[in-house]
Chains A and B, each alone.
Chain A
Amino acid sequence: MSTQPNNPQNEPGSPEVRQDRRDFLKECVAASPLLLTILQVAEGAAASANDDTYKPEEHYYGMGIDVNKCIGCGRCADACKTENNVPREPFYFRTWVERYVITTDGETVVTSPDGGIEGFPSSVSEKGILRTFFVPKLCNHCADPPCVQVCPVGATFITRDGVVLVDKDYCIGCRYCIQACPYGARFLNPVTHTAEKCTFCYHRVVQGKVPACVEVCPTGARIFGDVRARSSPLVRFRRFNEIQVLKPQLNTTPKVYYAHLDGEVR
């Protein structure tokens, strides 16, 4: 400032100025706890204002599938593609429906034309069928997922609420996870060239909604919920049904639980 040198009081070295600075610093130190407290209170108030925000550590998600209720309408596979903008070509599915036909000759035929979206044309003569049923499939959201283990860049991971997700901005598209998944639940998105899979519709779940496939299942064959909740539709489903998971011998600890699953299902 141009006036400063003319003012004798502000001259460096003057005792009055030094005194002021010391007092000022002292006051600062004295006031700092108060200031910090105010800041902390303000922060706390801001946090409590968003108290209804989603808390991942309070959830642990899984899905139940009642094979006896699946009618093979394919609405789940269709809704999944709509909700998650999955390419419509019949090679890309986050969830799909398989038809199992076990013939009287002991042969097991598995078909899934377009994931079941357009229905299932009857391919086997009704006379030769011993058993037949539909099995919906999707990512099993394993608690010990091989896909996460093999990712070289940490682009796929388990969230605190037990959902296996892909970081599409960080994925390098090496396809290693697609090879590692024993359930065939992953594919490479032909547009982004990154790995893609079922997210349990994470964007819906954090808003308290159910995944799109569960929303549209007309017979309630899919049940979504908290595995650890005291009471939830999923807990009840697991309590009153004999539950199996797919490929338990691989120790992947799947969190998609099947009731009334046939031994032929792989």
Chain B
Amino acid sequence: MPQQVKRLAVVFLILGGILIGARHFLVPKTFGALGHYRAAAIDLNASKPLVYAGHEACAVCHPDIAKMHDQARHRTVACEVCHGAQEAHVDSPGDHKPPAPRQRGFCPLCHGYDPSRPTGFPQIDPVSHNPGQPCISCHNPHAPVPPHTPQECSACHGEIARTKALSKHAAVPCTTCHQVEEKHKIAPLLSTPTKPQAREFCGQCHSQEARGSPEITRVDLSTHGERYVCWQCHYPHSPELEDTE
């Protein structure tokens, strides 16, 4: 074998040795054990300390509140939503006292009126709803109910009331179209209000023959959208006609 080849072979061997040595020291130990990453990074992520203890931790020491809370409307609201992250309190209850939001600003984060919120979610206008009073002076946050039987429909159906108040139907009381039993105010789902069933109901005000103010929009019921009932096109709480006038 020529000497040059032998020397070259030695050089390659040394370079190869350096490469293997460098790889041994530079590539992290667990790299490639589970894939193209450091397996130790999983433990790194998993070993972080908890900050939120989880609602199941609270019931161990506070069974009375937990029992009341779990049967009330706020049962899906975990303790730490209002009382903050409390793993520290679970670890040493004496040293860390959970805060309780007693001021007025906190509850409207969920219950302040917002048009983007889902229909039916209980919402109030924080400016006009008993201004100045803390929410907890009337509502028990662990088992919230209206403090007295509501007299106005808007107490529960705020979104509809607000929409209607801005519409052409603002002056029409809810009971013109809906018959409501007294029971509905106490057990809402056991007695639901009625809804108009036929086009002729709207026709009482809006047909050509109807008596009343000439400003009310009139249509000929026999030709106007005869295959449909009125509320398939018009939303009665905010009739769309107002925009086109």
Chains A and B belong together in one complex: yes
Footprint of B on A, CB under 8 Å? 54, 56, 68-75, 79, 82-84, 99-101, 104, 119-120, 122, 126-127, 129, 132-134, 154-160, 165-170, 199, 202-204, 206-207, 209-210, 212, 215-216, 218-220
- Which of the 9-residue segments B3-11, B49-57, B176-184 touches chain A? B49-57
Q: A79-B85, A99-B116, A126-B115 are in contact. Are A203 and B37 (CB under 8 A)?
A: no
Q: A73-B110, A119-B109 are in contact. Are A218 and B77 (CB under 8 A)?
A: yes
Inter-chain pairs besides A72-B117, A165-B42, 9 sampled, C-beta below 8 Å: A71-B110, A79-B80, A79-B85, A154-B31, A170-B37, A170-B38, A212-B52, A215-B55, A215-B80
Interface status of B188 (Cβ within 8 A of chain A): no
A202 and B46 within 8 A (CB): yes
Contacts of B37 in A (CB 8 A): 154-157, 167, 170
Give the total number of A-B pairs whose CB atoms are below 8 A apart.
127
Q: Can you list 8 pairs linking A and B with CB atoms under 8 Å apart?
A: A71-B110, A71-B118, A74-B109, A82-B84, A126-B115, A132-B115, A160-B34, A167-B44
Q: How far is the CB of B68 from chain A (nearest CB, A)?
A: 17
Closest 9 CB pairs of A and B: A167-B41, A157-B37, A203-B48, A218-B77, A132-B116, A154-B36, A73-B110, A83-B51, A154-B37
Q: Choose from B36, B51, B112 the contact partner of A82 (Cβ within 8 Å).
A: B51
Distance A120 CA – B116 CA, assembled complex (angstroms)? 9
Interface status of B222 (Cβ within 8 A of chain A): no
Contacts of A199 in B (CB 8 A): 45
Distance A229 CA – B122 CA, assembled complex (angstroms)? 35
Encoded as 1 (CB less than 8 Å from any A CB) or 0, chain B from 85 to 118 comes to 1000000000000000000000011101011111
A219 and B76 within 8 A (CB): yes
A165 and B45 within 8 A (CB): yes
Interface centre among B37, B47, B49, B76 (most CB of A within 10 A): B37
- Report whether over half of chain B's contact residues are helix, strand or loop; otherwise say mixed: loop
Distance A57 CA – B41 CA, assembled complex (angstroms)? 16
Q: How far is the CB of B3 from chain A (nearest CB, A)?
A: 42
Interface status of B121 (Cβ within 8 A of chain A): yes
Interface centre among B34, B38, B42 (most CB of A within 10 A): B42
Distance A210 CA – B50 CA, assembled complex (angstroms)? 11
Q: Choose from B41, B51, B74, B85 the contact partner of A165 (Cβ within 8 Å).
A: B41
Interface status of B146 (Cβ within 8 A of chain A): no
Contacts of B80 in A (CB 8 A): 79, 215-216
Distance A160 CA – B153 CA, assembled complex (angstroms)? 54
Contacts of A127 in B (CB 8 A): 166, 243
Interface residues of B in 190-245 (CB under 8 A from A): 243
* Category for how many chain B residues contact A: 35 or more
CB-based nearest B residue for A72: B116
CB-based nearest B residue for A220: B76
CB-based nearest A residue for B54: A209
Q: Choose from A72, A133, A203, A220 the contact partner of B50 (Cβ within 8 Å).
A: A203
Q: A74-B109, A218-B77, A218-B81 are in contact. Are A157 and B36 (CB under 8 A)?
A: yes
Distance A50 CA – B84 CA, assembled complex (angstroms)? 33
Contacts of A203 in B (CB 8 A): 45-50
Interface status of B174 (Cβ within 8 A of chain A): no
Q: How far is the CB of A266 from chain B (nearest CB, A)?
A: 17
Interface status of B16 (Cβ within 8 A of chain A): no
A133 and B116 within 8 A (CB): yes
B51 and A212 within 8 A (CB): yes
Q: A73-B110, A119-B112, A132-B115 are in contact. Are A157 and B50 (CB under 8 A)?
A: no
CB-based nearest B residue for A99: B116
Distance A213 CA – B77 CA, assembled complex (angstroms)? 12
Contacts of A158 in B (CB 8 A): 35
Contacts of A120 in B (CB 8 A): 114, 116
A126 and B166 within 8 A (CB): yes
A169 and B44 within 8 A (CB): yes
B44 and A157 within 8 A (CB): no
Interface status of B28 (Cβ within 8 A of chain A): yes
Encoded as 1 (CB less than 8 Å from any A CB) or 0, chain B from 137 to 166 comes to 000000000000000000000000011001
Distance A209 CA – B78 CA, assembled complex (angstroms)? 13
Q: Choose from B31, B44, B109 the contact partner of A75 (Cβ within 8 Å).
A: B109
B52 and A215 within 8 A (CB): yes
Q: Choose from A99, A129, A170, A206 the contact partner of B46 (Cβ within 8 Å).
A: A206
Distance A129 CA – B74 CA, assembled complex (angstroms)? 30
Q: How far is the CB of A143 from chain B (nearest CB, A)?
A: 14
Distance A83 CA – B49 CA, assembled complex (angstroms)? 9
Contacts of B112 in A (CB 8 A): 119
B81 and A68 within 8 A (CB): no
Q: A101-B116, A119-B112 are in contact. Are A157 and B52 (CB under 8 A)?
A: no
